[in-house]
């Protein structure tokens, strides 16, 4: 039996077609992940109302965190997004009080459960002489107000908003 000389195996160069296919698949996967993230997690939205000025000026862009309300942990001062009962459009307002809390505005000062609340971003001179309430927030609801109290249609007009109706919290700009 004789030995047969063989050449060492040559490693084939990677196919350009296979590499290109992987790049396309990776790009498609990335695009799908970004789309899913925008649909279900974070979405930029341009504010079309002056009701949250000066904290969120008209024309600014905010980032909505869609799972926010479902994760719970909402607190007074958080910015929330819901469909306005007034006109059916998306609305951004500040969460003020929750189940069982009493809300009032006394000569432009927000009072929750009998305690005046600090609101450094509110221009009290624009709403001097404003009175509202007191009202008690029902279970499963949140009382919301716009920062521009003189130009905001909010829970003072349409009542407390069901927590189940909240669509997102605002990540940026962050609440006070």
How many CB atoms neighbour CB 19 within 10 A?
10
In this prediction the pTM is 0.74
pLDDT at position 149, please?
86
Q: What is the pLDDT of residues 47-90, one digit of tens each?
A: 888 888 888 888 888 888 887 666 678 899 999 999 888 888 88
51 as an active site residue: the answer is yes
- One of 93, 152, 155, 160 is an active-site residue; which one? 93
Active site residue 93: yes
Q: Which listed residue (49, 51, 108, 155) is catalytic?
A: 51
Cβ atoms of 172 and 62 closer than 8 Å:
yes
Distance from chain centroid for Cα 20 = 39
Domains and their CATH numbers in the chain: 42-172 (2.10.109.10)
């Amino acid at each position: 039996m004789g030995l047969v000389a063989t050449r060492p195996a040559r490693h084939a160069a990677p196919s350009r077609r296979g590499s290109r296919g992987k790049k396309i698949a990776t790009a498609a996967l990335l695009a799908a992940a970004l789309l899913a993230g925008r649909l279900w997690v974070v979405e930029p939205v341009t504010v079309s109302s002056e009701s949250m000025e000066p904290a969120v000026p008209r024309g600014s862009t905010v980032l909505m965190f869609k799972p926010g309300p479902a994760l719970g942990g909402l607190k007074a001062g958080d910015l929330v997004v819901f469909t306005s009962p007034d006109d059916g459009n998306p609305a951004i307002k500040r969460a003020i009080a929750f189940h069982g809390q009493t809300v009032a505005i006394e000569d432009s000062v927000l009072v929750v459960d009998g305690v005046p609340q600090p609101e450094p971003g509110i221009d009290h001179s624009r709403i001097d002489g404003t009175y509202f309430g007191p009202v008690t927030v029902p279970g499963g609801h949140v009382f919301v107000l716009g920062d521009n109290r003189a130009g905001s249609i909010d829970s003072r007009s349409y009542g407390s908003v069901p927590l189940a109706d909240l669509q997102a919290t605002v990540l940026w700009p962050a609440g006070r």
